[in-house]
Amino acid sequence: MGHEGRLFIGGEWVAPSTDARIDVVSPHTEAVIGRAAAAGPTDVDRAVTAARAAIDAGPWPRLDPAERIAAVRRLAALYGERRREMAELITAEMGSPISFSKLAQAMLPWTMLGAFADFAEGYAWEETRPGYYGQDVILRKEPAGVVAAIVPWNMPQFLIVGKLAPALLAGCAVVLKPAPETPLDANLLAELIEQAGLPPGVVSVLPGGADVGEALVAHPGVDRVSFTGSTAAGRQVAAACGAGLKRVSLELGGKSAAVVLDDAEPAAVAAGAKLAGLMNSGQACVAQTRILVPESRYGEMVDALAAMVDEVPVGDPSDRATEIGPLVARRQQERVRGYIELGQYEGARLVVGGTGLPAGVDRGWYVRPTLFADVDNRMRIAQEEIFGPVLTVVPYAGEDEAVRLADESDYGLSGSVWTADVDRGMEVARRVRTGTFGVNQPYSMDPAAPFGGVKASGVGRELGREGMDEYLEVKAISVAPATDLSEGRDR
């Protein structure tokens, strides 16, 4: 990558408006591994102006959808050629274990590009609907305009592509703001976008801090905002969009529950909890860190979970055997350690883990994988999003109580149920109030399935055909019958 010190704005690599640079620090070694230009408010204005020109006067929104589909397929082909490099870059930037990066941080985004192109080929861009008064109405789907896409550091490419692909296919222009912790993978994507030959102004990439995001959300040239991040930040984005009457979608936090029924196998529950609760070292909004276990089988389930947490491999994220890597930054390490101390203060039983470094680790922003038992669902460690490798086990007396406890949360993003009886599991799945759910598996991030939450977990949906809808406006057109026009001329 040869663009250190430059920003991708309007389809070109240009000098930023300031001399500020972002130092990218390895969470494993604590050493600087790269630098990127930091955008400022002036750069936001340049990018939005270029995007506005692309929408108002450029060819992109006026192309036949087949041409935009072909462009996204070109991007997908280029992405596929460099997905290994993308995975390694994200592991270096934010500490995601390389086995997870290859799959979720690079393979899934590549797959999503092709999937969205497939969805677009079968999309009804224009349709005729019978009118209530006997006259047909034409419904036309048109681009929402200039999109501000703001993503966090934990799943950077997955979250970027989930916004970028449908927005491009819809005919929108996108100004992307990646997190300052992960600018390098975003700049690699910008290289691929340049190679794919998208028209000028259709995509710009502005790494930077909160000031850049605030300027982008508030910019009068932006028509729509798609934000992924914390619930607290999401509320601020929603307020700003409300003031500007801008369409907005928010994918926010979670504190999801895995409901274990009394016929589940402990080994299967432990294996499922490792993926559902500890994926990406626990740095996932969908992490199911509240494990609800029946009192009748509490001891054996806790023992199985403790063995799993105690044995999960922790260490160098570039090692293929590693399953838990470092957290993204020292502030995140300190935050998670604070929650571990809080859990002990609240009276939960620390079964495995604690605030010290994992065995064999003497540097980096690591936290020992931790399991708390005897957790009251009202404790802060059971209610607040920790965003680290910390699992809590909450006992319950019966299925009704399990569903109540699962719903006893400000959030509603994900969840699962574990049982030997799929029909019984489906009944629980139908009852829990959440945006996504899995039966005997964590929720599968299938590109065909809409993803999003309820309550404080957000507004709107990404992925699937519903994800396309978020970037389109519906125009209703009615045409007077020809006979009516001729009668008017006769008069």
Residue numbers annotated as active site: 251, 285
How far apart CA 479 and CA 214 sit, in angstroms, is 43
- CB burial string 451-481: b at 16+ within 10 A, e below: bbbebbbbebbbbbbbbbbbbbeeeeeeeee
* pLDDT value at residue 491: 45
Tokens of 485: 């026009």
* pLDDT value at residue 1: 56
Any idea what DSSP says for residue 319?
S
Query: Which fold is adopted by the domain 7-252+457-477?
Result: Aldehyde Dehydrogenase; Chain A, domain 1 (3.40.605)
At 298 the three-state DSSP class reads: helix
* pLDDT value at residue 114: 97
Following DSSP, what letter does each residue of 336-371 receive, concatenated? HHHHHHHHHHHT-EEEE--SSPPTT--SSS----EE
Q: Give average pLDDT by consecutive 10-residue segment, the chain, 491 residues.
A: 84 95 97 96 97 98 98 98 98 98 97 97 95 94 98 98 98 98 98 97 97 97 98 97 97 98 98 97 97 98 98 97 98 98 98 94 96 98 98 98 98 98 98 97 91 97 95 96 59 45
* pLDDT value at residue 469: 96
* pLDDT value at residue 443: 84
Tokens of 149: 């896409």
* pLDDT value at residue 478: 94
* pLDDT value at residue 3: 75
Domain range 257-439, CATH class = alpha beta
Query: 257-439: same fold as 7-252+457-477?
Result: no
CA-angle at 98, arms to 93 and 102, nearest 5°: 100
Q: Are 212 and 44 in contact (CB under 8 A)?
A: yes
How far apart CA 314 and CA 357 sit, in angstroms, is 10
Domain positions in the chain are 7-252+457-477, 257-439
- Nearest-10 Cα torsion for 272, 278, 283, 289: 70
What is the pTM for the complete model shown?
0.95
Bridge partners for 141 per DSSP: 474
